[in-house]
């Protein structure tokens, strides 16, 4: 995926999608994303990654970027392409990614909400794919949340942390939720209001949502 993103020559749709896809997958694999970040263009998010001075800062900056890019996912899409512009939420919740299994690890399972499955089995050997090691099978909010919470413990004074927590709540609401996504959403909401309650990001986050396949729940400050 990295070679495809850097080499060019892809169809226009894939040419736009390739750098973000390679960046997200590389993040899950713990790889150096410098070359891909440079290919993605010069903006504050990519500069933050390129200018980070240590591994913890780089990993947080790498997670901070896809939290702002709902189109981020570690595979190429199939079927109907995502309709929302880059950086914008899709009204049909085609945002970020769902948990992946071995069979569908290279495919998007497009149009999940409509029950249409267009996955192509990945060419992997029997057993767990190496890509899935380290929790990469988690959906977006849980995976990115783990990075944000770890960083916040040691760098709670970083001004990006409350924004990242706000973004986690948003990702849990508008993204593809799994059965445990609400735990990340709730944890992000609580930390945001307890430690950064006077920030703009806390004021922009009056509720957290539990919207997995079973329940849709809205919880306000002071709730459980």
Give the pTM. 0.81
Minimum mean pLDDT among 19-33, 69-83, 97-111: which range? 97-111
Residue 217's pLDDT is 52
Q: What is the pLDDT of residues 141-151, one digit of tens each?
A: 999 999 999 99
Residues of the chain with pLDDT > 70, as a percent, come to 76
pLDDT in tens, 98-143: 765 534 444 444 434 433 333 333 333 333 444 444 454 578 999 9
Q: Taking the CA of residue 136 as centre, how many other CA atoms within 13 Å lie in the half-sphere pointing to its CB?
A: 23
Q: Minimal CA–CA distance to 96: which of 178, 209, 7, 191?
A: 178
Q: Which of 18-22, 92-96, 154-158, 165-169 has the lowest mean pLDDT?
A: 92-96
Residue 2 DSSP class: H
**Worst-scoring range by mean pLDDT, 68-82, 159-173, 183-197, 206-220?**
206-220
Q: Identify which of 152, 124, 153, 140 has the alpha carbon closest to the alpha carbon of residue 68.
A: 140
**Residue, of 106 and 45, whose pLDDT is higher:** 45
Q: What pLDDT sits at residue 115? A: 34
Question: Would you state the pLDDT for residue 137?
Answer: 57
Among 39-43, 98-102, 140-144, 191-195, the minimum mean pLDDT is found in 98-102
Structure tokens at 77: 């899409």
Taking a C-beta distance cutoff of 8 angstroms, is the pair 71, 84 a contact? yes
Q: Where are the domains of the chain?
A: 2-132
pLDDT of amino acid 108: 46
Q: Taking a C-beta distance cutoff of 8 angstroms, is the pair 2, 36 a contact?
A: yes
Length of the chain, please? 224
pLDDT of residue 14 exceeding 70, the answer is yes
Indicate whether 8 pLDDT > 90: no
pLDDT, position 16 = 83
Q: What is the mean pLDDT of residues 83-107?
A: 73
């Amino acid at each position: 995926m990295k070679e495809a993103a850097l080499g060019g020559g892809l169809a226009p749709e894939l040419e736009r999608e390739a750098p973000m896809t390679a960046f997200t997958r590389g993040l899950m694999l713990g790889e150096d994303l410098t070359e891909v970040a440079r290919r993605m263009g010069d903006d504050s998010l990519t500069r933050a990654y390129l200018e980070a001075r240590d591994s913890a800062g780089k990993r947080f900056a790498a997670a901070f970027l896809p939290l702002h890019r709902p189109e981020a996912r570690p595979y190429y899409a199939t079927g109907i392409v995502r309709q929302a512009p880059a950086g914008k939420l899709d009204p049909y919740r085609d945002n970020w990614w769902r948990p992946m299994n071995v069979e569908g690890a290279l495919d998007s399972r497009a149009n999940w909400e409509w029950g249409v499955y267009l996955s192509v089995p990945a060419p992997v050997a029997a057993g767990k794919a190496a890509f899935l090691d380290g929790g990469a099978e988690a959906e977006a909010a849980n995976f990115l949340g783990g990075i944000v919470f770890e960083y916040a413990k040691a760098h709670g004074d970083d001004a990006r942390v409350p924004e990242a927590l706000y973004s986690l709540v948003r990702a849990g609401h508008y993204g593809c939720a799994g059965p445990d996504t609400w735990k990340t959403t709730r944890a992000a909401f609580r930390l945001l209001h307890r430690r950064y309650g006077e920030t703009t990001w806390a004021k922009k986050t009056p509720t957290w949502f539990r919207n997995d396949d079973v329940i849709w729940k809205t919880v306000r400050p002071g709730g459980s």
